[in-house]
Structure 1
Amino acid sequence: MDIQINTSNAVDGTGGFNDAIEETTRSRLARFEDRLTRVELHFSDQTGGRETVNDKRCAIEARLAGEDPITVTNEAATLDLAATGALTKITSALERHIGKSTGRKGH
């Protein structure tokens, strides 16, 4: 599973931020690792640095082998909270998708 982290110009993605997010993502999505080819995380500040409520956004695109990507977004007050919420959403979406594709009667 390849993890790619993208940040907008208004987001400081340097230092330990990328490493911490990558480690958290690997940990949270470990059970899907054999089915995922790539996970992209996109971080942005919706207000360009002005402080407002829930202005940080994390969008996650998970690519399953041979299937269309699954995408979720989450907005929160901080980048960490936005990532945590988006990871929760993508985990649920993957569970639903994989459950539907493997849980059919007679298959």
Structure 2
Amino acid sequence: MQINVNTDNTIEKHQGLDEHVESVVQSSIGRFGEQVTRVDVHLSNENKEKHADGGNYCMMEARVSGYQPIVVHEHSVELHQSIKNAGGKLARALDSALGRLADKNKHAPVAVAVEEDIDPLSDKHLTDS
């Protein structure tokens, strides 16, 4: 799974932030393995001047094989908390979406081949006497 971290000019991007995001994403949705090909994480502080209003924003978009992208949003006072909460939301959204997809595939009609009782020598049904 590829994880891309994007920030706007209100967030200082550094190695520790990238590692934190990757850790949260892996722990939240790592169990989906090969089904999730890429996760794009966008971080910003929508109200840079006002620190106590929950302006730290995290958006996560998961690209899922054979399914539409799944997007979650989270606002919080602390950036790390918004990342953690968004990871939890993304896990629940993937559980729901992939669960529906699995149920849909599980309940799809399956063609059942039924052999008829035919006498190979006479091409008559054995039940026809």
Confirm or deny that 1:19 pairs with 2:14.
Answer: no
Cα distance in structure 2, aligned partners of 1:69 and 1:6 = 17
Aligned pairs, number: 107
Q: Give the structure 2 partner of residue 76 of structure 1.
A: 76
Q: How far off is 1:48 after superposition? A: 2.5
Q: How far off is 1:49 after superposition? A: 4.0
CA radius of gyration, larger in = 2
Confirm or deny that 1:55 pairs with 2:55.
Answer: yes
> Does the 8 Å CA contact 2:55/2:76 hold for their aligned counterparts?
yes
- Matched to 2:24, the amino acid is T
> Does the 8 Å CA contact 1:62/1:69 hold for their aligned counterparts?
yes
Q: Give the structure 1 partner of residue 99 of structure 2.
A: 99
Cα distance in structure 1, aligned partners of 2:15 and 2:35 = 30
Q: Which has the higher contact order (CA 8 A, sep 6+)?
A: 1
String of CA shifts for 1:43-92, please: whole Å, max 9, x gaps. 00011243132110000000001321000000000111101111111100
Q: Which moved more, 1:5-14 or 1:96-105?
A: 96-105
> Does the 8 Å CA contact 2:53/2:77 hold for their aligned counterparts?
yes
Cα distance in structure 1, aligned partners of 2:17 and 2:10 = 14
TM-score by length of 2: 0.77
The runs of 4+ residues in structure 1 deviating greater than 2 Å are 104-107
| Structure 2: gaps spanning 5 or more residues | 109-129
Q: Give the structure 1 partner of residue 85 of structure 2.
A: 85
> Does the 8 Å CA contact 2:10/2:45 hold for their aligned counterparts?
yes
Q: Give the structure 2 partner of residue 30 of structure 1.
A: 30
Q: Which moved more, 1:97-106 or 1:33-42?
A: 97-106
| Structure 1: gaps spanning 5 or more residues | none
Cα distance in structure 1, aligned partners of 2:90 and 2:42 = 13
Q: Secondary structure at the match of 2:47?
A: coil
